């Protein structure tokens, strides 16, 4: 009885859309990949080419087709590309070649309303669950949210993130940035359905210097500097107070994490997180390492390739790195396709996974890795 229910659930998850006017953000694990686009001139994509072949040609004049400039909506037949003008400043639509995959696409321009939205409006800040619920991290432009709501009827859920990066270390509020593909992803577990890979509880080892520049910490540092100048506090005391403030910040981040888990559980399963713990797999998040969630899933009718960023970058953190990679490998052994074919669920479809070398992580100026570099065109399974 349980097995039958789960199989029916997965069938519905992979085929909930009727082709036509119902646009949605495709979920990688419920669609077949037809084409992949990335910049082959980028050094770190050399290994990607080895694993999945060359990038498909893009014919936009002077513009690459990759994850961050575009939010790609699909209806099973055609695409709508919402593009960020701060990333793609000019698209020569009149010179798109007749052979281009994009010739019949609709292109929707969105201009960020503030500096934060320049980053938060990027494609890497929007991911889709198997039921097509869209998740993003706070800080997107109101006009972008309006375009999403205009073009899709699916649920759109905002998650909070108190460990964003603040470029000038002087700003506050929502001026910092962090993308949702750095903190979570969806992975298929065959007849068990899908699970959400999500960041684990924070502790002081998860950050080197990021929280020193958090707006919640900065006022304490500034105040103590003034006191130090006037001779009322020692430098050692200033450091101690700042450490205490960071401990408090970590408590707040863990409260925020539970609130995010609650929001995800209600949105996807209609139940509180306490009743959905088996739907999540947690990995330790270190702000100074590439995020393991920034992965790309490429599935065809015959095989699956999953590309992870290689986090093996610093011998100082070898214990932490080994723990994460060991857990990834352990979970990969449990993973199976949830796409239904005419013959049934593809439990025996081979899964090839690789750790791809990426640029060295910078805690205070992070760049996207594997997921942000690639853009896919999908085919909805029959």
- Count of CB atoms within 10 A of residue 20's CB? 10
- 45 in a structural domain: yes
CA 251 to chain CA centroid, nearest Å:
24
Total structural domains within the chain: 1
Q: What pLDDT, on the 0 to 100 scale, is given for residue 84? A: 75
Radius of gyration of the chain (CA): 22
- 245 in a structural domain: no
Q: Report which of residues 58 and 136 the model is more confident about.
A: 136
pLDDT in tens, 261-280: 999 999 999 999 999 999 99
Which of 96-100, 145-149, 217-221 tops mean pLDDT? 145-149
CATH of the domain at 363: 3.75.10
- 308 in a structural domain: yes
Q: What pLDDT, on the 0 to 100 scale, is given for residue 168? A: 57
- Count of CB atoms within 10 A of residue 69's CB? 24
Lowest mean pLDDT among 209-213, 307-311, 330-334, 341-345: 341-345
Angle of CA points 371, 364, 369, to nearest 5°: 15
CB 50 within 8 A of CB 350: no
Q: What pLDDT, on the 0 to 100 scale, is given for residue 97? A: 57
CB 91 within 8 A of CB 69: no
Q: What pLDDT, on the 0 to 100 scale, is given for residue 26? A: 95
Query: Which residues are CB-neighbours of 48 under 8 A, at least 6 positions away?
Result: 38, 307, 356, 370, 373, 374
What confidence category does residue 230 fall into, taking pLDDT thresholds of 50, 70 and 90?
very low
Report the share of the chain in percent with pLDDT over 70: 77
Q: Report which of residues 193 and 113 the model is more confident about.
A: 193
User: How far apart (Å, rounded) are the C-alpha atoms in residues 147 and 153?
Assistant: 11
What confidence category does residue 14 fall into, taking pLDDT thresholds of 50, 70 and 90?
very low
pLDDT in tens, 22-78: 899 999 999 999 988 887 666 777 888 889 988 886 655 455 566 677 898 999 888
Lowest mean pLDDT among 18-22, 302-306, 368-372: 18-22
State mean pLDDT over 364-375: 83
State mean pLDDT over 352-371: 87
Asked whether residue 79 carries a pLDDT value surpassing 80, the answer given is yes
Q: What pLDDT, on the 0 to 100 scale, is given for residue 5? A: 28
Which of 151, 126, 146, 153 has the alpha carbon at shortest distance from 138?
126
- 264 in a structural domain: no
DSSP, residue by residue, 95-129: G--TT-TTTT-EEEEE--SSHHHHHHTSGGG-EE-
Which pair of structure tokens corresponds to residue 5? 């229910």
Q: What pLDDT, on the 0 to 100 scale, is given for residue 217? A: 61
Using a cut of 0.75, tell me whether the model's pTM lies above it: yes
- 9 in a structural domain: yes
Q: Which domain holds residue 77?
A: 2-191+284-379
Q: What pLDDT, on the 0 to 100 scale, is given for residue 329? A: 95
pLDDT in tens, 275-332: 999 999 999 999 999 999 999 999 999 899 999 999 887 778 888 899 999 999 999 9
- 197 in a structural domain: no
Q: What pLDDT, on the 0 to 100 scale, is given for residue 219? A: 44
pLDDT in tens, 150-180: 999 999 999 999 998 876 544 444 467 899 9
User: How far apart (Å, rounded) are the C-alpha atoms in residues 230 and 92?
Assistant: 60
Distance set, CA 142 to CA 69, 148, 193, 314, 364 (Å):
17, 10, 34, 40, 26
What confidence category does residue 186 fall into, taking pLDDT thresholds of 50, 70 and 90?
very high
- 66 in a structural domain: yes
What confidence category does residue 348 fall into, taking pLDDT thresholds of 50, 70 and 90?
confident
- 184 in a structural domain: yes
């Amino acid at each position: 009885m349980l097995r039958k229910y789960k199989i029916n659930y997965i069938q519905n998850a992979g085929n909930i859309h009727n082709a036509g006017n119902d646009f949605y953000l495709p979920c990688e694990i419920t669609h077949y990949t037809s084409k992949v686009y990335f910049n082959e001139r980028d050094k770190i994509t050399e290994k990607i080419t080895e694993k999945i072949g060359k990038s498909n040609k893009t014919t936009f004049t002077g513009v690459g087709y990759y994850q961050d400039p575009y939010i790609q909506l699909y209806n099973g037949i055609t695409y709508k590309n919402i593009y960020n003008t701060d990333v793609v400043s000019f698209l020569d639509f009149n010179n798109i070649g007749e052979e281009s995959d994009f010739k019949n696409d609709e292109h929707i321009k969105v201009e960020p309303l503030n500096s934060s939205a320049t980053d938060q409006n990027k494609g890497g800040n929007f991911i889709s669950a198997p039921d097509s619920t869209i998740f993003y991290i706070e800080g997107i432009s109101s006009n972008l949210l309006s375009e999403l709501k205009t073009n899709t009827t699916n649920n759109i859920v905002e998650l909070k993130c108190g460990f964003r990066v603040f470029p000038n270390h002087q700003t506050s509020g929502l001026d910092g940035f962090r993308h949702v593909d750095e903190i979570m992803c969806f992975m298929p577990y065959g007849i068990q359905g899908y699970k959400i890979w999500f960041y684990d509880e924070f502790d002081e080892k998860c950050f080197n210097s990021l929280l020193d520049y958090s707006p919640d910490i900065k006022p304490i540092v500034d105040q103590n500097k003034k006191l130090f100048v006037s001779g009322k506090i020692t430098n050692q005391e200033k450091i101690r107070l700042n450490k205490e403030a960071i401990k408090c910040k970590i408590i707040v981040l863990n409260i925020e994490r539970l609130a995010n888990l609650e929001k995800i559980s209600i949105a996807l399963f209609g139940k509180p997180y306490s009743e959905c713990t088996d739907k999540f797999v947690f990995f330790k998040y270190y702000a100074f390492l590439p995020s393991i969630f920034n992965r790309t899933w490429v599935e065809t009718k015959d095989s699956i390739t999953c590309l992870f960023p290689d986090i093996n970058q610093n011998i100082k953190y070898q214990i932490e790195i080994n723990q994460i990679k060991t857990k990834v490998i352990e979970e990969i052994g449990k993973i199976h396709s949830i796409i239904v074919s005419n013959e049934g669920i593809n439990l025996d479809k081979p899964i090839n996974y690789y750790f791809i070398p990426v640029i060295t992580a910078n805690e205070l100026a992070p760049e996207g890795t594997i997921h942000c570099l690639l853009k896919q065109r999908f085919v909805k399974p029959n």
